[in-house]
Structure 1
Amino acid sequence: MKPFYVRELSVYPVGRRRILLLAVAVLASLVANFETTLATILPLLMDDLSMSLTVYGQIAALSVLVGGVSAGFGGILSDRWGRVTILVPTLTVTAACNFLLATVDSVAELFWVRCLMLFIEGAGITITASLVRDFSPRMGRAQAFAFWTWGPVGASFLASFIAGFTLPLFGNAWQSQAIIMGVVSLAMCAVIVWKIAEPSGALRAQVLQAEQAVAAAGSPAHGRVRELLRHPHLWAHVFGNTGWQVLYWTFAIFGQTILSDAFGMDAAVANRVVALGIVLNAAAVVVVGRLSDRRQLRKPFTAVGTVLTAGALAYFISLAGPGVPTAQVTIVYALLFLFMGIAYVPWMANFSEDAEDVESRLQGSALGIWGMVVRVMIVVMLVVSPPIVEAGGWETWLAVALAGQVVFLASMVAFKGRWRTPKAAPPEVAG
């Protein structure tokens, strides 16, 4: 028997109905990311708890590792039990945990609360990506994933925007942000429970090229996860993008801290700089997603975006140090987010389609495996980066992130898909 909040569709939605369900999936992605955001208050939290960057890295690493295990199993279970069955409780309980976070007054308490939150949240984020795939035919897959990235990116923007304008109102008390996140997240969860739905297992097994055209239909029976594991190009996707994610998660976790430590910005200004970069990223992903879908090309956009990101990052590293104008740092930081948006969305569509071609019934499993590997990388990053930063500054760690961009660029050789649009056949001349 399905829980009361599960609405299962037996007919593929089209038109406004499909767009609405995609919007709900994007909202769920935003909630899943927003309710665990800590970057906006990290400098204040570290001061209040007398916690060093190394200690925070160890706490975050262990809690993310817990979340990685949850992400892997959550994706597999969502293919078997359904997306919404698991998603709704994870979002709601994690939102409520923010009120528990506001009561933390020691490093040990922070550790246990973060482990609890990330264990619950881990399954939720990868499931939202699976829902986006379920409601996006290939002709619109990149644009759909562009809106999905508004989840993690929009969560960072929302948290930074709120913190930038409300922290001064509450005397820079980080607890205020935890309470605000709890209230806002629960309000959005109510909307999700009211509107969310998911395709049946039979519908999820279909591969749609356009909104109402079935390109290939699979059996509603469950696929075997080992089908995914035997394809090297899928592992190239997973490990290559994990290298790319080093930079993204460095900014997602330490963005405000980098701006504060390396360029002397206070917390409110740093949050506003981050918010501006996120706005540009949100615009870029939609434009690039539309272009990628229109041409049905993925790899060229990913490659160009990665090269631009690497170039901007190298320049950003060269700026590190005191005396750099805030306006200059803001522009370079914003361009980094814009270029990352160009690279990421076409890759998401490429990975989804390559996994779909292997086994259409295992989208949740493929995304879950990717999510688990990325979280293992985050664990390593959180353990390794603090001593590197303490020894050589943030510019040394950002050089490691630059190497990750190079790894991602090299891995594209193994991806499936075209590098250019095939030329149209010349018209036949009547004899």
Structure 2
Amino acid sequence: MMTQGEMNAAPLASRFWNRELTVYPDQTARRLYLLLVVLITVVLYYELYVGGGVATLMMADLNIPFEVFVYVTAISNLLGAFASLVAGLADRFGRANLVIYGQLLAALITLFWMPNVTSMVSWGIALSAVAFVEGIVLVATPALVRDFSPQVGRAAAMGFWTIGPVLGSLAVSGVVTLTLPHYRTWQSQYIIAGALGLVLFVLSLLFLRELTPSLRDQLMVSERDRMLVELKAKGLNVAASLAHPWRQVLRVDIIASALGVSMLLFFYYTMVGFGVIYLVTIFQYSVDEANALFNWTWATEGAALVAAGLLSDRLRVRKPFMLVGAIGFCALVWLWLQMLQAAEKPSIGTLTVISSCLISFSAMAYVTWMASFTETIEAHNPALTAIGLALWGWIIRVAVSACFVLLPSVVTSMNPLLGAGPVLAAYEKAVADKVPPSAELLAALGQVKQAAVAAPAEWRTWYWICIGAGLFFTATISVMRGRWSPVAAKRDQEAHDAVVARELAKLRESSGLAQQDAA
């Protein structure tokens, strides 16, 4: 028999585990849930990306060669890929608890484990742990966004969700710019990120909710569908809709579109992981200057994501935005390439403008792709959104891992350039002391000079690969669901609204007849 204390504790424990809403929430409540999901996403990406902002300091302190840094990053992404498949369970067991308790685990690793690593191996294990948790949580979060956003308004909602990685990147560059001159250690950045993660865990533990399977497993095009969705939910066979889930989502349109967007993001992940290294080694900017450039870049991308999402929803189309975004992206990566060939070092302002415009076109393509991708999954089975997103999460992380594995074989000059500081300092000291440099020092200096000459051409090759990846994305747009014409899209919605009105009328009529029979 339960004690009084156990009886009082049971409802509290149930509240912290059972988070299902049996009624579709109104617009204000949905916006609050979406805001909380976006904040969670921002902090998770901040925790994942924070190492990139202090990469040069961390690599020097832990004696991590550039190739090892890249390969460990690739391995961690690969672990995240298989973790994304685990997140497909969210269709059966819910999204909210995966997000909340995964977020707690990520915060604890970032706050207590990462700042205390003392070797290359321990750093790699800790990074892989964070990436594995991220792979689970960051598939469940867009599933929540989809649940709380009808298709009319989906691009705007996904725009706010995709701000997560952008603001996570902005948080890294902004916090590093503000706090690194004071704390002067790379460990301090992990401590700040982990502490913020714990704050978001408490908020999500208290307030995050999700729809019941019978509500979320239906297609909702607009707000007008709300009553029909709730009525259908009462008789929906959830188990039947979830039968053979992988067989239902392994479709050409889902796989091809996920692969296409993964390749489009090659340049973005290069900037996130190695942007600071690139600017420091190629253009000799300081770490603070490099992070200041990315402050503007990520802030501009955030604005572009929201603007493109709102405009896409207003015009009711996705594909034209994806195409224009991809073409603009490729054109500006080509312009970025020209900066590498310039006779003079470009100003930080010039690179900031190019980088901000480039990333804005990428954002236009990506946010409308996210909306179109969830709608493509819904066209097959709305009940399998999380499974479809898990497949996307797996593909994108495998593709990014392949990207990172390929990078060192293309850009081979990074190790000598990253170690140039001590070599040049030793050479200058030898000259000042009028001591002949040793053979080893002269050999190291020769490697630095050769790397400095080779690096621009190697990076140009890499950015041409990124342009090719962007063009491949354009080829996959046609397989996705959605119209090219706003006029045709408007006709589709009007036809859908008419069907919903007829079905509601039938349900009301049958309900009235049933009541008469009962009487």
TM range (shorter): over 0.9
How does the TM-score come out when normalised to structure 2? 0.79
Hey, what does 1:65 align to over in structure 2? 78
Structure 1 residue 194 corresponds to structure 2 residue 206: yes
Aligned counterpart, 1:106: 119
Once the two structures are TM-superposed, the CA of residue 5 in structure 1 deviates from its matched residue by 4.3
Structure 2 residue 64 is matched with structure 1 residue 46: no
Cα RMSD between the aligned structures?
A: 1.8
Q: 1:316 aligns with which of 336, 353, 359?
A: 336
In structure 1, runs of 5+ residues without a counterpart are 426-431
Tell me what 2:486 maps to: 421
Matched, 1:337 2:402: no
Say if 1:29 and 1:125, in contact at 8 Å, map to a contact too: yes
Equivalent residue for 2:192, pick from 156, 162, 180: 180
The whole-number CA distance in structure 1 between the counterparts of 2:85 and 2:27 is 32
Secondary structure of 2:98's counterpart equals: helix
Asked if 1 retains the 8 angstrom alpha-carbon contact of 2:378 and 2:385, the reply is yes
Larger Rg: 2
Residue by residue over 1:331-383, the C-alpha shift from the partner in whole angstroms, topping out at 9 and shown as x without a partner, is: 11111111111111111100000101101011111011111111111211121
Which among 232, 237, 241 is matched to residue 252 of structure 2?
232
CA contact (8 A) 2:317 2:483 kept: yes
Contact residue 151 and residue 221 of structure 2 kept, 8 A: yes
- Letter matched to residue 68 of structure 1: A
Deviations 1:86-112 (A, max 9, x none): 111111111111121001121011111
Amino acid at match of 2:114: L
Task: Note the alpha carbon deviations across 1:370-417, whole angstroms, 9 max, x for none.
Answer: 111111112111211022111643222121111110000111122221
Instruction: Give 3-state SS (helix, strand or coil) of 1:264's partner.
Output: coil
Greater displacement, 120-129 / 204-213: 204-213
- Aligned equivalent of 1:220: 238
Q: CA deviation at 1:231?
A: 2.5
Structure-2 separation of matches of 1:364 and 1:3: 23
1:297 maps to what in 2? 317
Change in CA separation of 1:349 and 1:393 when aligned onto 2, cut-off 3 Å? same
Q: For 1:410, which of 468, 472, 475 is the aligned residue?
A: 475
Query: Hey, what does 2:374 align to over in structure 1?
Result: 352
Task: Work out whether residues 322 and 365 of structure 2, in 8 Å CA contact, stay in contact via their aligned partners in 1.
Answer: yes
Distance in 2, matches of 1:112 and 1:226, equals 30
Tell whether the 8 Å contact from 1:356 to 1:363 is kept in structure 2 after alignment.
yes
Determine which of 314, 323, 326 is the counterpart of 1:306: 326
Q: Which amino acid aligns with 2:367?
A: V
- What residue is the counterpart of 1:90 in the other structure? 102
Q: Kindly report which structure 2 residues correspond to 1:28-177, keeping only aligned pairs within 5 A, or say none.
A: 28-37=40-49, 38-74=51-87, 76-98=88-110, 99-171=112-184, 173-177=185-189
Aligned equivalent of 1:281: 301
Q: Which has the higher contact order (CA 8 A, sep 6+)?
A: 1
Distance 1:335 1:256 in 2: 18
Counterpart contact for 1:280–1:334, Cα < 8 Å: yes
- 1:269 alignment partner, one of 289, 306, 312: 289
Q: CA deviation at 1:223?
A: 4.3
Distance between the aligned counterparts of 1:22 and 1:223, measured in 2?
A: 29
Q: What is the identity, as a one-letter code, of the residue corresponding to 1:220? A: V
Percent sequence identity is: 30
Output one character per residue of 1:97-149: Cα deviation in whole Å (capped at 9) or x when no partner. Answer: 11210011210111111122212221000100100000000111000000001
* Alpha-carbon distance change, 164 to 297 in structure 1, aligned in 2, over 3 angstroms: same
Aligned residues of 1:6 and 1:84 also touching (Cα < 8 A): no
Partner secondary structure for residue 64 of structure 2: coil
Q: Residue type of the partner of 2:385?
A: Q
Q: Is the 8 A contact 1:94 1:117 kept in 2?
A: yes
Query: C-alpha separation between the residues in 2 aligned to 1:313 and 1:20?
Result: 37
**1:139–1:293 CA contact under 8 A, matched in 2:** yes
Structure 2 unaligned runs (5+)?
A: 1-12, 414-456, 492-519
Per the normalisation by structure 1, the TM-score is 0.94
Distance of 2:63 and 2:108 partners within structure 1 = 26
CA drift at 1:199: 0.4
CA contact 2:283–2:345 (8 Å) conserved in 1: yes
Q: Give the residue type in structure 1 aligned to 2:267.
A: L
Q: Structure 1: how far apart are the matches of 2:377 and 2:370?
A: 11
Structure 2 distance, partners of 1:332, 1:219, is 52
Structure 2: distance between partners of 1:357 and 1:89: 31
